[in-house]
Amino acid sequence: MIRQRRTPPEGVGPMLRRARDRAGLSQSELAVRVGVRRPYINKLEHSARCPSLLVAQALADVLALDEDETAVLYGCAVDDAGHNHPARVAA
């Protein structure tokens, strides 16, 4: 199975940036708390990547997103990527 890279709706990246600013975290600090690398956070904030479902859940928790923000983030999350991808689970 070959997965196509998807990009999130335009407003998702800026929403994540605002939430990170509200939380008083740098990209590096957020990356450590979520368990990803800083460049990945940068790509998310620039709407260049969709997070995996696992990363979206961690972001929502760490950033204390409200219900609307969480719904937007989960709406663009992909379930066929990242640590919860079936190919990784099987390995």
Centre a 10 Å sphere on the Cβ of residue 3 and count the other Cβ atoms it contains: 10
Query: What pTM, to 2 d.p., does this model score?
Result: 0.82
Which pLDDT belongs to residue 32? 98
How many whole angstroms separate alpha carbon 49 and alpha carbon 44?
5
Among residues 21, 7, 12, which one has the least CA distance to residue 45?
12
pLDDT tens digit string along 39-84?
Answer: 999 999 999 999 999 999 999 999 999 999 999 999 999 886 555 4
Sequence-distant (≥ 6) Cβ neighbours of residue 73 within 8 angstroms: 12, 15, 16, 51, 56, 59, 60, 65
For the CA atoms of 65, 27, 29, 74, the dihedral, rounded to the nearest 10 degrees, stands at 30
Asked if the model's pLDDT at residue 89 lies above 70, the reply is: no
Asked if the model's pLDDT at residue 85 lies above 90, the reply is: no
